[in-house]
Amino acid sequence: MNGHLGHGLRPADPPPLGTVAPLGRRAVWVRAALLIGLLVVGLVVRTSGILAPTPADPALPPMPGAAKVVPGLVRAGLPNEDEMVLLRDTLGVRVIAVTGEASVEERAGVKAFGLRMEEFPLAGDAAPSAEQVAALIALVKANTAAGAVVYLHGTSDAGAAVTMAAMVQLATGTSLPDALAGLSDTARVSLTPAQTRALQEVWDVMRGTGPANSPYASLRTVP
């Protein structure tokens, strides 16, 4: 041969990235373990629902500020007519309790949809009385026994309805820290100084540290 490759053939070009050395047994095992670990983590995340959206509570209406107070009592904002129908047909609401004075339009809607209204006269920045709290508790218990729900709302942005709901919780065994922790930021900032003091008074009465002449002393005997 004359030193030239026959048939015009050229030697093969080297790989662009150079020659790749074969992986050692240890490297193979490490990569396999990492892959298995990633698969396990993905499976755990998927089955645990960590990344899944929190499902809506079926016992709450899809309304801003909706909150479950105690069994049989739900609190949210002023309902319109469509929401009244939703409350009646989906959640079993039969009574709408109002802190303050209901509007003519709301009264008409309540009557038209076969609901009942209970009003608790109360200025927006005032705190409910012990008698009003006891009356609402009795109303809720009577309706719960009949399989119905009471819907509570206020007539202003002040915290009258929030305070009433929290007092019901305190009078039925919830602590003040837990009641406050369950409030949204919007509900918490709606409380006036007078309402905040009243909540503390009810809590003191319920745990036996309040004065005997407290205006909320009678709540200790509410059945």
171: left (phi over 0), alpha (psi -120 to 50) or beta: alpha
Tokens for 135, please give them: 């009356």
Residues 166 and 207 in one domain: yes
Residues 48 and 75 in one domain: no
Domain of residue 216, CATH code: 3.90.190.10
Residues 47 and 123 in one domain: no
Model pLDDT for residues 164-184, shown as the tens digit of each residue: 999 999 999 999 999 999 999
DSSP readout, 22-56?
Answer: PPPHHHHHHHHHHHHHHHHHHHHHHHHTTTSPPPP
**Candidate from 73-77, 124-128, 130-134, 210-214 with smallest mean pLDDT:** 124-128
- Mean pLDDT over 69-87 rounds to 96
Residues 206 and 131 in one domain: yes
Residues 112 and 27 in one domain: no
In a domain, 62, yes or no: no
Model pLDDT for residues 94-122, shown as the tens digit of each residue: 999 999 999 999 999 999 999 999 999 98
Question: Strands 93-99 and 149-154, how do they pair?
Answer: parallel
**If you average pLDDT over every residue of the chain, what do you get?**
84
Tokens for 4, please give them: 């030239």
In a domain, 5, yes or no: no
In a domain, 60, yes or no: no
Residues 22 and 119 in one domain: no
- Structural domain of residue 38, as residue ranges? 14-52
In a domain, 160, yes or no: yes
Residues 31 and 140 in one domain: no
- What pLDDT does residue 123 have? 77
The pLDDT confidence band at residue 49, using thresholds 50, 70 and 90, is very low
Total structural domains within the chain: 2
